[in-house]
Amino acid sequence: MVKALFFFLTIVFVIIGDQWSKLGIIAHFDYGESIILIRDFFNVTYVRNTGAAFGFLAAANPTFRVPFFLVVPIVAMVVLGFLYRDLPANAKWRAMALGLVSGGAIGNLIDRVRLGYVVDFLDFHYNTAYYFPAFNVADSAICVGVTILLLSTLTTKKETQNASSPI
């Protein structure tokens, strides 16, 4: 029950936060408009991403790109569902991590189905020389979720190795 609560509530919160923030950007910004929040470091900029992370495949032929970016998140959701199913009942952190990844994938899928692109707006950079590609709440949730999964996997393996080693 606790595992399910962490998983499903995380998905819901990520989707709501992601879609709410994107709707706010669309409603209050013109495409390409940018507001400086921290000079030479952070702007809010309305960007449309037709590709994946960091614009990967954005220039690909739409007859390939569009179906690809609709099918991949669905396949990912199936895989995440199997991973969730196999989690132990007390794996709250891993359930939450899978919820973050799932919620992020669903949030970006909603954009692709509804708009044909993903709305990105978090724009970090250093001066005018180094720019990190713009991203959104869903992207952040996916990255945090994957990081938690990796750390929990490393911790679990380390605990398993220590438990099986002779004293």
Active site residues: 120, 139
Nearest to 21 by CA among 54, 53, 50, 44: 44
In the numeric block, which tokens belong to residue 15?
Answer: 């989707």
Nearest Cα to Cα of residue 7 among 15, 114, 132: 15
**Cα 44 to Cα 34, 67, 116, distances in angstroms:** 6, 29, 21
User: For residues 127 and 139, what is the distance between their CA atoms, to the nearest angstrom?
Assistant: 23
Burial 105-142 (b: 16+ CB within 10 A, else e): bbbbbbbbeeeebbbbbbbebeeeeeeebbbbbbbbbb
Nearest-5° Cα angle at 104, 140 to 130: 30
